[in-house]
Amino acid sequence: MENLVNKNLEKGIQLDFQKEMSYGDYLHLDKILSSQHRLSSHHDEMLFIIIHQTSELWMKLILHEVNAAIECIRRNELEPSFKMLSRVSRIQQQLIQSWSVLSTLTPSEYMQFRDKLGHSSGFQSYQNRLIEFALGNKNARTLAVYQHQPELYPVMVGALNEPSIYDAAISALVAHGLSVDEEALNRDWSQNYEPNASVEAAWLTVYRNTDQYWDLYELAEKLVDIGNQQQLWRFNHMTTVERIIGNKIGTGGSSGVTYLKKVLDHQFFPELLSLRTKL
């Protein structure tokens, strides 16, 4: 049988992995593919688990790219950040699409295993919280759910107190000679970003003089892309939850759809949107 298989393959293809690293070894597929543990016997719980696990992997990559982009912007090396931010928006599209897969789960099917989740909830996703922090949506109260994790909690507190990518972009405005109020440059990073008139004026200058400030203009549009995609992800999250559980209380204790609708009221990078009215 082995000889028959070998005859049908190109001679250069590696077949012996007794002493070589294989595809599965490199990706640690034994760990990844053995990490789906259903708590019920219901067929569709596998879908529920895999959607959320793969989403967390995509979020890990978003954080990898966003944090690297922030470092580039801080060094006033804007061009390398553009590729990273473009990749982030593509990853967000994958996350948005995942909701359409989860929406194939009907209310009747979900109710067969929902009680097995206990109080676990997507609200507790620390990577999603880190993404929101990195984009400027800060809320110290959300950290309470991580207090039971002594290794994670300090990381979350540190992220809360770090400048967001938008704070880095505002500093880049100043590095390019544009004027921004001190209160927008040296604020309490743990607080949610609030619109500032001087920041809007600086971005308006960029958009009215794109040839002179092309890199800043490009950066701004990359941020708008990411902000829009994050809002779409939030919206699709809300509509999927509404489709599956209606207005039930969330497993984590939130008001469910009502809470997710309130989240949509938050706006990322507000001056990059408000300036469009004034151009």
Give the whole-angstrom CA distance, residue 179 versus residue 177.
7
Determine whether the annotation assigns residue 51 to a binding site: yes
The verdict on whether residue 243 carries a ligand-binding annotation is no
- Please state, in angstroms and rounded to a whole number, the distance separating the CA atoms of residues 253 and 134: 25
Please check if 96 is assigned to a binding site: no
Q: Is 226 annotated as a binding residue?
A: no
Q: Are 45 and 113 in contact (CB under 8 A)?
A: yes
* 114 among annotated binding-site residues: yes
What DSSP line would sit under 205-231, residue for residue?
HHHH-TTTTHHHHHHHHHHHHHHHHHH
Number of Cβ atoms within 10 Å of the Cβ of 199: 26
Binding site annotation covers 48?
yes
- The answer to the question of whether 170 is labelled as a binding residue is no
DSSP, residue by residue, 27-81: HTHHHHTT----SSS-TTHHHHHHHHHHHHHHHHHHHHHHHHHHHHHHTT-HHHH
- Which residue ranges make up the annotated binding site? 48-52, 110, 114, 237, 251
- Which residue ranges make up the annotated binding site for heme? 237
- Which residue ranges make up the annotated binding site for substrate? 48-52, 110, 114, 251
